[in-house]
């Protein structure tokens, strides 16, 4: 039982990361029709930007994490806005080229991070001379139903929950949220009504990339390190979440992210034990995707931003 609880909460923590990545991807695709392949590079870049700022300041571990999160979000939003204006906007009528440009950006930005910070993972946040850089209360465990759960899992779940509630409220109660929801439903109609939907594009892209950067920072908390390959590996699971959850749906992304995180953790433990093979968790997620596609090709929810 205690193992099951531990797996469940760890799975939820992983699902929280997937949700942060997938919600941005899903909104960007739902509104703009752009599959953002550079999202993985943005995750990595955000994580390294956050790591860099912690190497510049020297204060308590908690404060460094807060500074890192704020800085990561700001860098992500600025980068997203820049990329949208310079690379995506000129190609609005050429959807395939938009994907190709994000592929080129993914390769170039990924290689740049690799070139600047090197191939080895770095302890996060940067605290020279310390074996464990995260605040000690995050490493400590809380006992729930006999399971000792590292406290950082609750941080990831809480951040994702706040983002989920915030995004949903934002989409429902603000004017720009209304435009985004309408744009996901029918972009041509919104444009025909005289609303400049391009502003919403830039906005959504910036928010999506900021969330990717936030996921990068939180992955630093989850794994205790930042790693140049992390973005790409997280992105693939986020893609699966988006397909299962349905494009443009925040709620669908949340449900699918939880499902993917849990399946991965359970299979990693139970099936890996039984098959004596450590890849079982990842492959179980691919099987989940295949079965969802066979049963419901359109994903769990229809294409509506809610």
Partner 1 sequence: MRVKPLVIPVVLLAILAVVPLLSLDIPRVLPGALDSPGTLQLLALCLVFAGVALSYDLLFGFTGLLSFGHALYFALGVYLPAIALTEWGWSLPAALALLAVSAIAVPLVLGAVSLRVTGIAFAMVTLAFAQAGNVIVQTNPGGLTGGDEGIILDYDRIPDALVGIVNTKNLYWLALAYAALVFVIARAAIGSSAGHVWSAIRENERRVEVLGLRPYPYKLLSFVLASFLAAWGGFIWLLLIGVTPEVTTATFTLTLLVMVVLGGAGTRFGALVGGFFYTLLDYRLRNLAGEERIQELPDVLRIPLSEPLFLLGALFVAVVFFVPGGLASLPRRIRSLGARRRARAEESAA
Backbone torsions φ then ψ of 124, nearest 5 degrees = -120, 135
CB 242 within 8 A of CB 69: no
Backbone torsions φ then ψ of 229, nearest 5 degrees = -95, -5
99 binds partner 1 (CB under 8 A): yes
271 binds partner 1 (CB under 8 A): no
User: Mask: binding to partner 1, 122-161, rule CB under 8 A, as x and -?
Assistant: ----------------------------------------
97 binds partner 1 (CB under 8 A): yes
> Beta partners for 147?
144
The smaller minimum CB distance to partner 1, of residues 1 and 96, is found at: 96
- Of 46-54, 61-69, 145-153, 290-298, the window that binds partner 1 (rule: CB under 8 A) is 290-298
Instruction: Kindly identify the residues of this chain, within the stretch 192-211, that bind partner 1 according to CB under 8 A.
Output: none
Instruction: Kindly identify the residues of this chain, within the stretch 18-37, that bind partner 1 according to CB under 8 A.
Output: 29, 35, 37
Token readout for 240 is 């699966």
Query: What distance in Å separates the CA atoms of residue 57 and residue 66, rounded to the nearest whole number?
Result: 12
Token readout for 143 is 């006992």
The smaller minimum CB distance to partner 1, of residues 58 and 97, is found at: 97
> Cα 244 to chain center, whole Å?
15
Which of 66, 116, 144, 176 touches partner 1 (CB under 8 A)? 116
Other Cβ atoms less than 10 A from the Cβ of 239: the count is 19
304 binds partner 1 (CB under 8 A): no
Instruction: Kindly identify the residues of this chain, within the stretch 44-63, that bind partner 1 according to CB under 8 A.
Output: none
DSSP assigned state of 129: T
Half-sphere exposure of 250 (CA within 13 A, CB side): 26
Measured on CA atoms in the order 89, 94, 99, 101, is the torsion positive or negative? negative
Which of 56, 104, 148, 169 touches partner 1 (CB under 8 A)? 104
DSSP assigned state of 301: S
Which of 189, 273, 277, 302 touches partner 1 (CB under 8 A)? 277
Query: What distance in Å separates the CA atoms of residue 240 and residue 244, rounded to the nearest whole number?
Result: 6
Number of residues that bind partner 1 (CB under 8 A): 46
274 binds partner 1 (CB under 8 A): no
Binding residues for partner 1, rule: CB under 8 A, are 29, 35, 37, 87, 90-91, 94, 96-97, 99-101, 103-112, 114-116, 232, 236, 239-240, 242-243, 247, 275, 277-279, 282-283, 285-286, 289-290, 293-294, 297, 299
């Amino acid at each position: 039982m205690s193992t099951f609880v531990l797996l469940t909460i760890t799975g939820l923590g992983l699902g929280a990361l997937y949700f942060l990545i997938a919600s941005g991807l899903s909104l960007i695709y739902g509104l703009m029709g752009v599959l953002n392949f550079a999202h993985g590079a943005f995750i990595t870049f955000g994580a390294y930007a956050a790591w860099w700022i912690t190497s510049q300041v020297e204060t308590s571990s908690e404060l460094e994490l807060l500074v890192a999160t704020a800085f990561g979000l700001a860098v992500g939003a600025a980068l997203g806005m820049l990329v949208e204006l310079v690379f995506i906007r000129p190609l609005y009528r050429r959807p395939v080229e938009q994907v190709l440009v994000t592929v080129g950006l993914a390769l170039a930005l990924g290689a740049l991070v690799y070139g600047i910070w090197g191939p080895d993972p770095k302890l996060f946040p940067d605290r020279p001379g310390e074996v464990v850089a995260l605040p000690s209360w995050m490493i400590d465990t809380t006992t729930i139903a006999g399971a000792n759960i590292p406290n950082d899992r609750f941080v990831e779940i809480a951040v994702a929950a706040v983002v989920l509630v915030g995004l949903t409220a934002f989409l429902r109660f603000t004017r720009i949220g209304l435009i985004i929801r309408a744009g996901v439903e029918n972009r041509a109609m919104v444009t025909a009504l005289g609303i400049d939907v391009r502003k919403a594009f830039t906005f959504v892209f910036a928010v999506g990339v900021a969330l990717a950067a936030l996921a990068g920072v939180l992955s630093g908390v989850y794994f205790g390190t930042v790693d140049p390959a992390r973005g790409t590996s997280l992105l693939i699971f986020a893609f699966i979440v988006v397909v299962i959850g349905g494009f443009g749906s925040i709620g669908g992304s949340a449900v699918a992210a939880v499902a993917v995180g849990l399946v991965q953790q359970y299979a990693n433990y139970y099936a890996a034990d039984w098959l004596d093979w450590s890849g079982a968790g990842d492959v179980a997620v691919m099987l989940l995707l295949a079965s969802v596609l066979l049963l419901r090709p359109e994903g769990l929810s229809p294409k509506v931003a809610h």
